[in-house]
Amino acid sequence: MGNVLTIAGRELKAYFLSPLAWIIIALFAFFTGFIFVQIIARTLVADLSPLFQWIAVLALILTPALTMRLFSEEYKLGTIELLLTAPARDWQIVLGKFIAAWLGFAVLLIPTLWQVVILQRYGSPDYGILGASYLGILLVGAAFVGVGMFASALTQNQFIAYTIGMILLLFLWVSDAPATAAGQSGMVGDFFRYLALPGHFEDFFGGVIDTQHLLYFGSLAVLAVVLTTLVVQSRRWR
C-alpha cells in the first residue's frame, strides 16, 4: 500500500502545481455558486437536491479535464518508462493515480460547503439527505475518474483523452435513451437502462442509499482500474 500512497501523493502534488487544476476548481465554484443562488431565489426552500443534479452535470464536463493528463502526459514526456521501472506493480501505479484524481475531485466539492452553512443559518436543511447526496456525488466522481483515467491511458494526446472520456461518459449517461424511445423490453433493454448513470445517482440526492447503486458505482470504478491496468501492462511489450 506504501507504493500506492507514494504515487497518489506525487500525483496530488502535480495536480495542485498545475494551473489547470485551479482553473477547474474556480469554474466549478463559480457555477455551483451561481446555480445555488438561482435555486434558492426561485424555491426559497433549504434543499440542495437540485444543486446536486447540476453538480453531476458539471462533473460530466469537468472530470475528463481533471483526468486527461494522468497517463497522456506520462506518454508524451517519456516518463512512463521510468514509472514502469519503479519498484511498484502496474496496478499500484494505476490505483495511486486513481486515488489522487478522486481526491482532486473531492476538493472540487469543498466550495459547496459554504452553501450548507448558509442553509443552516437561514433554514433547516435535512442532513440525512445532504449526507446521502455528498456520498452519491463522490461515487459519481469515482466512476467518472475511472472512465477518464482509462481514456487517458489510451493516448498521449490530452485533447483526445478528454474527448474519449466525454464520449464514454455521455454513452453511460444516455445509454437508456434508445431502449426507452423504442419501448424495448427484455434483457437487452433492461441492460441498457441499468447502465444509465442518472438512474443510479438520483436516489442519493433524494436521501436514499441503495446497495444496488453502491454496487453499480463500485463495479464501474473497479472495472475502469482493471482495464487501465491492462492497457498500461500492454506498454511493457511494445
pLDDT tens per residue, range 109-152: 998 888 888 888 777 778 888 999 999 999 999 999 999 999 99
> What per-residue confidence (pLDDT) applies to 238?
61
d(CA 43, CA 34): 14
Q: What's the rounded mean pLDDT across residues 141-170?
A: 95
One-letter amino acid at 142 equals: A
In angstroms, the CA 222 to CA 219 distance is: 5
Asked if residue 46 has pLDDT above 70, the reply is no
How confident is residue 79, by pLDDT bands cut at 50, 70 and 90? Answer: confident
Measured CA distances, 181 to 79, 165, 196 (Å): 47, 25, 14
- The span from the CA of 25 to the CA of 29, in Å, is 6
As to burial, measured by CB atoms within 10 angstroms (0-12 exposed, 13-18 middle, 19+ buried), residue 13 is exposed
Helices (H), 78-210: 80-84, 90-108, 113-122, 127-153, 158-174, 177-181, 186-195, 198-205
Name residue, grid cell 465554484. 29
- Rounded to two decimals, the pTM is 0.90
Per-domain residue ranges of the chain: 2-235
